[in-house]
C-alpha cells in the first residue's frame, strides 16, 4: 500500500481554523492566537523554500527525509523566528528565544543539526510542563523553537519526494522515523479510514483501526476510546497495555476540522487522560 502524495500545506486554513476555534473555546484563545503567529511565520518560510526549490536536495525513494539539511537555505530566516518569539511568545518562550539569539549562528547550526537528526524520534516532554527541572525546561523550550522552524522545511521535503510503501501497521513515520502526533479519520465509503499524522514532518500514512500505534496491541477490549461532549469529533484512543494514548480527529463528524489545529484546542482531553493515568505518545507543538 502506498500513501497518497500530499499537496502543499494550507497554512491559511490552519490560521483561519485557529481564529475560529479561539472564538468557540475562550480557554484556548491565547494559545491559538500564539499558534496563528507561528503559522504565519511558517507560511512565509515555506513560500521562500518553494520559490527557491531548485536549491533544495532531491531525495530518492530510498533516502530518509532526514538525510540532508540545507542550512544554507534556512539559517538566514532563524533570526526572524527568534524575534517573533521574543515579541509574541509567553514569558518563558520569549526568554528562551532571547538566550538563543545571543548564542549566534555557530550555536544555531549545532542546535538545528542535532534536532533535525533526532527531533520527534523520541518522546519529548511538553515545552511548558511546570514540573520539569530547570535544565530540562530550558532544553524543551529550545526544542520548541527548533520544531517550529524546521517543520516547514520537513513539510516541503515531504511534498517533493516519493511516498513510501506501507502495510497499514507501521507505527512510526516511513519518511522520517518519528512517532505519530495524532490520528485522523477521513471519510471513505460509509465510514472513516484511519491515518496517522507524523509529529515531525506532518506526513500522513494509513493505519489499521484496531491497533495501538505505541505498542501494537490489537485486542479491542484493551483499546478504550473516550469522546467528550465538548469535542464530539475528537477521540482519545488509549491503550490499557502500554498506558499511552493518541487523539484522533474524526473528519466524518466535522469536515471543517483541521487536525493539527483542533488538537491544540482540546486541552480538557489532556486533563482527562492525565486523571486516568494515560500518557500521550507524542506532544503537539504547544504541549496541549
128 & 223 share domain: no
113 & 191 share domain: no
Q: What share of the chain is helix, strand, coil (3-state, %, to 5)?
A: 50, 15, 40
Task: Answer whether residue 5 is part of any domain.
Answer: no
Q: How confident is the model at residue 135 (pLDDT cuts 50, 70, 90)?
A: low
What does the chain come to in residues? 288
Give the Å distances, CA to CA, from 256 to 25, 220, 225, 248: 16, 29, 22, 15
Q: Tell me what pLDDT residue 15 has.
A: 98
80 & 19 share domain: yes
Quick one: residue 158, left, alpha or beta (phi over 0 = left, psi -120 to 50 = alpha)?
alpha
> What cell does 128 get?
511548558
Closest among 181, 116, 125 to 154, alpha carbons compared: 116
Letter string b/e over residues 82-107, b meaning 16 or more CB atoms within 10 A of that residue's CB: bebbbeebbebbbebbeebbeeeeee
Task: Answer whether residue 166 is part of any domain.
Answer: no
188-208 pLDDT, tens digit per residue, is 887 889 999 999 999 999 999
Mean pLDDT in residue range 232-261: 97
Range(s) of the domain holding residue 55: 11-159
Q: Tell me what pLDDT residue 53 has.
A: 63
Beta-carbon count within 10 A of 114 CB: 12
153 & 197 share domain: no
Predicted confidence (pLDDT) at residue 164 exceeds the cutoff of 80: no
Task: Answer whether residue 219 is part of any domain.
Answer: yes
Q: How confident is the model at residue 104 (pLDDT cuts 50, 70, 90)?
A: very high
Task: Give CA–CA dist 201/42, Å, rounded.
Answer: 13
144 & 184 share domain: no
Mean pLDDT in residue range 52-71: 68
Closest among 34, 110, 115, 46 to 77, alpha carbons compared: 46
Task: Answer whether residue 171 is part of any domain.
Answer: no
Task: Classify strands 191-198 and 204-206 as parallel, antiparallel or unpaired.
Answer: antiparallel
Residue 284 exposed, middle or buried by CB count within 10 Å (0-12, 13-18, 19+):
buried
141 & 63 share domain: yes
21 & 155 share domain: yes
Which residues neighbour 202 within 8 Å (Cβ) at sequence distance 6 or greater? 9, 151, 154, 155, 158, 181, 260
Task: Answer whether residue 34 is part of any domain.
Answer: yes
Contact 94, 50 (CB under 8 A): no
Q: Which of 46-50, 59-63, 86-90, 170-174 has the highest mean pLDDT?
A: 86-90
249-264 pLDDT, tens digit per residue, is 999 999 999 999 999 9
Task: Answer whether residue 165 is part of any domain.
Answer: no
167-195 pLDDT, tens digit per residue, is 778 899 988 889 999 999 999 887 889 99
Number of domains in the chain: 2
Predicted confidence (pLDDT) at residue 5 exceeds the cutoff of 70: no
Beta-carbon count within 10 A of 166 CB: 16
Task: Give CA–CA dist 266/90, Å, rounded.
Answer: 19
- Write down which residue in 159, 192, 225 finishes a domain: 159
184 & 155 share domain: no
Task: Answer whether residue 4 is part of any domain.
Answer: no
119 & 206 share domain: no
Task: Give CA–CA dist 212/226, Å, rounded.
Answer: 15
103 & 50 share domain: yes
Please, what's the largest Cα pairwise distance for the chain?
Answer: 55
Q: What is the pTM of this model?
A: 0.89
Task: Answer whether residue 288 is part of any domain.
Answer: no
Quick one: residue 120, left, alpha or beta (phi over 0 = left, psi -120 to 50 = alpha)?
left
User: How far separated are the first and last CA of the chain, in Å rounded?
Assistant: 33
Task: Give CA–CA dist 194/192, Å, rounded.
Answer: 6
112 & 31 share domain: yes
> What cell does 6 get?
500530499
38 & 133 share domain: yes
Amino acid at each position: 500500500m502506498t500513501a497518497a502524495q500530499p499537496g502543499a500545506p494550507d497554512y491559511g486554513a490552519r490560521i483561519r481554523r485557529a481564529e475560529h476555534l479561539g472564538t468557540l473555546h475562550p480557554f484556548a484563545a491565547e494559545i491559538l492566537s500564539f499558534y496563528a503567529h507561528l503559522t504565519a511565520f511558517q507560511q512565509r518560510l515555506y513560500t521562500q523554500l518553494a520559490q527557491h526549490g531548485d536549491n533544495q536536495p532531491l531525495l530518492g525513494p530510498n533516502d530518509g527525509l532526514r538525510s540532508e539539511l540545507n542550512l544554507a537555505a534556512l539559517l538566514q530566516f532563524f533570526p526572524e523566528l527568534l524575534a517573533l518569539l521574543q515579541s509574541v511568545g509567553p514569558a518563558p518562550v520569549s526568554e528562551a528565544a532571547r538566550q538563543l539569539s545571543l548564542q549566534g549562528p555557530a550555536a544555531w547550526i549545532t542546535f538545528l543539526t542535532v534536532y533535525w537528526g533526532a527531533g520527534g524520534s523520541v518522546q519529548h516532554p511538553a515545552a511548558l510542563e511546570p514540573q520539569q527541572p530547570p535544565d530540562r525546561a530550558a532544553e524543551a523550550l529550545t526544542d520548541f523553537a527548533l520544531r517550529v522552524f524546521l517543520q516547514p522545511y520537513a513539510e516541503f521535503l515531504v511534498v517533493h519526494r516519493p511516498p513510501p510503501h506501507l502495510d497499514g501497521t507501521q507505527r512510526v513515520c516511513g519518511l522520517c522515523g518519528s512517532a505519530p502526533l495524532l490520528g485522523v479519520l477521513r471519510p471513505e465509503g460509509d465510514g472513516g479510514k484511519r491515518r496517522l499524522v507524523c509529529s515531525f514532518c506532518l506526513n500522513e500514512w494509513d493505519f489499521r483501526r484496531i491497533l495501538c500505534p505505541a505498542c501494537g496491541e490489537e485486542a479491542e477490549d484493551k483499546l478504550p476510546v473516550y469522546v467528550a461532549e465538548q469535542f464530539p469529533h475528537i477521540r482519545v484512543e488509549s491503550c490499557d497495555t502500554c498506558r499511552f494514548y493518541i487523539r484522533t480527529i474524526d473528519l466524518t463528524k466535522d469536515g471543517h476540522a483541521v487536525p493539527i489545529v483542533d488538537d491544540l484546542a482540546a486541552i480538557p482531553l489532556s486533563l482527562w487522560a492525565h486523571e486516568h493515568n494515560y500518557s500521550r505518545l507524542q506532544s503537539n507543538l504547544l504541549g496541549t
